[in-house]
Structure 1
Amino acid sequence: MKLSDFDFDLPEHLIATRPARPRSSARLLLAEGQGIVDRHVYDLPQILRPGDLLVLNDTKVIPARLTGTRTRQTGQGEAVAKIEVTLLEPAADGWQALAKPLRKLREGEVIRFGEALSAEVAAITDGGLRLRFDAEGDAFDAALAQVGAMPLPPYIASLRAPDEQDRKDYQTVWAARQGAVAAPTASLHFDTPLLEALEARGVEFVHVTLHVGAGTFLPVKVENVATHRMHAEWGEVSEEAATRINAAKEQGRRVIPVGTTALRLIESAATEEARIQPFAGTTEIFIYPGYHFRVSDGLMTNFHLPKSTLLMLVSALMGMDKIQRIYAHAVAEEYRFFSYGDASLLLP
């Protein structure tokens, strides 16, 4: 399997820079068996069956993009330079982060992010750095909320800057556990009226947590996709969630993750016998064609980047030929792509 097998042409105007309003008015490509039908997300109560179990990722995105300044003494006095920082994940002593420009930073320097927050450069790492902030716990969260911006994906950030509206738009309505630096974007289509309609239909929900990392946007650089090394992300499936997923499988009800993050997590927690075990830790699971799905009976997901691991995942679920037909249809019908774009419901 070659990387070029997962390439396709996408016109730039199909990259969504804002979500649909209301959330559930986004278009929904329903691919069931060999059929492809154009619907909307608000049609889900008519599409899903009573007893279907939707697996929802309750991670909460932090405002991980920071703009700061560094001050250095020169022969002409103080020199102040602008620094752009994106937080990646907590480390034993601070936060792992990316910075631009990185090459000019030195260990021991202090970066100031306004009056509310500053950080010392504790270490320069391979391609990034570790920052030690001057606040911890609730004080750090409050300062970050004051000075940070939502970490929009590169393909949106290159078209426009994040703004205050993104604090709401780039967060699910059930977000609860802080720690992600990217949103579980298929879940962004759900609003309270839709959740209530699904509940009235008899559709059930269970929450798991996968803190989505910036690695989700890393390109695949190897031509032989089987040799690609996935990034690690921390996740948790509680004992209650595992029990409910196992009960659904035993009763013949469908388990449908909302988003590739939820799918990757429950497949990581699954045994060969197709049972979920409680799970807490990192996962580097890489799902590509040939993978045998143990628990997931379908997937609701957005439309993914060419040559991405997520396109490989949906190709594993539906088959490469079917995914090529689905994506050709989505482009021809001008579905909106990527994080703020439209959705698909994939039912093999």
Structure 2
Amino acid sequence: MRTSDFDYKSPVELLAKYPSQERDESKLMVIHRHNEKIEHKSFKDLHRYFEEGDIIILNNTKVFPARLLGNKEKTDANIEVFLLRELDSQDRTWDVLVDPARKVRVGNKLNFGYGLTGEVIDNTTSRGRILQLHFHGTHENLLKKIKKIGKTPLPKYLHRDPEESDKKRYQTVYAKHEGSVAAPTAGLHFSKHLLKILEIKGINLVEITLHLGLGSFLSVEVEDISKHKMDSEKCLISEKTCSIINNGIKNKRRICAVGTSSMRAIESSVSSKKNLNPFSGWTNKFIYPPYHFSIANSMITNFHMPKSTLMMMTAAFIGFDLTMKAYQIAIKEKYRLYSYGDAMLIL
């Protein structure tokens, strides 16, 4: 398939610049794959589609304040640095995005305030916009300073600065392990109250960890989608999680991946017997049509940007035609789009 196949006109007024007032009050489009029936519900109705013994897979990654605002030494030009991943804790090197990238060269020093400085030591990367910074000071002090001065890494397309409320709302209520530069947005709809209802009903809530980088959200720059390369992301799946999920597969239970990140994680560690294996490492799994899914038989996801890898994975799970139909209905019914937008449940 071609990247252009996944294009659609996204009305500006449907871009959700802010989350819904309550997490579980966002809209929920329920899509039944077997008969293509579509229902319009509220996210708090989610529990009605699951029974005792079913399994919901949550990504418990936690977003860290990855945006640093600084100035270039000598010229004092404003520079924004977006931390992507730590490469080496001992020499304190990081992969970063710099904006505007054209103003920064190897050897440039950046000042972020509070005694935190950085030096650009490399810009030789596949995209040419990802740079490495070397931070001065101990690793422990570096992390403390990043948390003190860093900003919530809201997506650029929101065209607004992060606010105090974003520290809480651009984070799932079950976030535990810090390491993501973007939120697993399908999980943002879960409230503590809804999780308790699911738990009381006997639904197994299991957790995996996949730290999201920007790779999932960057534009696909090739027309032949099979030639697109995903950035690697760190992933952890425990033996306990595998045991519960594999037992669910054996008993033909409903197994729901919450978000494309959870789906990508579990599809990265499938055994020859189509069971889930424990995993600790990096994955650059790219899922696009056609694809046979081995673990989950349902998925919760948001309405994604045109031509994104997230939309491509959704089409692989639901079918291309039904995906495009669902998006057109979402626009007609004024569903809110993207990270802070509404959700779909695919059964």
* Category of TM-score, reference length = shorter chain: over 0.9
Superposed, 1:36-185 pairs within 5 Å as 36-72=38-74, 79-92=75-88, 93=91, 94-115=93-114, 117-126=116-125, 127=128, 128-156=130-158, 159-185=159-185
Match of 2:326 in 1: 326
Specify the SS of the correspondent of 2:240: helix
> Structure 1 residues 327, 101: closer, same or farther in 2, change over 3 A?
closer
Q: Which letter maps to 1:262?
A: S
Specify the SS of the correspondent of 1:162: coil
Give the Cα separation in 2 of the matches to 1:225 and 1:186.
24
The answer (yes or no) to whether the contact 1:257–1:299 under 8 Å persists in 2 is yes
Specify the SS of the correspondent of 2:110: strand
Match of 1:76 in 2: none
Structure 1 residue 197 corresponds to structure 2 residue 181: no
Once superposed, what is the RMSD of the aligned Cα atoms? 1.4
Give the Cα separation in 2 of the matches to 1:244 and 1:263.
16
Give the Cα separation in 2 of the matches to 1:298 and 1:47.
11
State which drifts further: 145-154 or 110-119: 110-119
Give the Cα separation in 1 of the matches to 2:326 and 2:123.
44
Give the Cα separation in 2 of the matches to 1:136 and 1:190.
37
**Superposition deviation, residue 112 in structure 1:** 1.6
Match of 2:295 in 1: 295
Specify the SS of the correspondent of 1:215: coil
The answer (yes or no) to whether the contact 1:61–1:180 under 8 Å persists in 2 is yes
> Structure 1 residues 132, 171: closer, same or farther in 2, change over 3 A?
same
> Structure 1 residues 146, 322: closer, same or farther in 2, change over 3 A?
same
Give the Cα separation in 1 of the matches to 2:338 and 2:100.
27
Specify the SS of the correspondent of 2:215: helix
The answer (yes or no) to whether the contact 1:6–1:311 under 8 Å persists in 2 is yes
Give the Cα separation in 1 of the matches to 2:60 and 2:344.
20
Q: Deviations over 1:270-321 (max 9, x none)?
A: 1232111111111111111111101011100100111111111111111111
**Superposition deviation, residue 116 in structure 1:** 5.0
Match of 2:237 in 1: 237
Q: Which letter maps to 2:189?
A: H
**Superposition deviation, residue 121 in structure 1:** 2.3
Give the Cα separation in 2 of the matches to 1:259 and 1:173.
15
The answer (yes or no) to whether the contact 1:272–1:294 under 8 Å persists in 2 is no
Q: Which letter maps to 1:309?
A: T
Give the Cα separation in 1 of the matches to 2:100 and 2:151.
18
Aligned residues: 339
Specify the SS of the correspondent of 1:45: helix
Runs of 4+ in 1 over 6 A off after TM superposition: none
The answer (yes or no) to whether the contact 2:60–2:177 under 8 Å persists in 1 is yes
Percent identity of paired positions between Structure 1 and Structure 2: 42
Give the Cα separation in 1 of the matches to 2:68 and 2:164.
14
The answer (yes or no) to whether the contact 2:114–2:145 under 8 Å persists in 1 is no
State which drifts further: 116-125 or 34-43: 116-125
Match of 2:311 in 1: 311
Q: Which letter maps to 1:42?
A: K
Q: What runs of 5+ residues in structure 2 fail to find an aligned partner?
A: none
Specify the SS of the correspondent of 1:98: strand
Q: Deviations over 1:220-239 (max 9, x none)?
A: 12222222222211111111
Match of 1:15 in 2: 15
Q: What runs of 5+ residues in structure 1 fail to find an aligned partner?
A: 73-78
Specify the SS of the correspondent of 1:217: coil
Q: Which letter maps to 1:254?
A: R
**Superposition deviation, residue 135 in structure 1:** 4.1
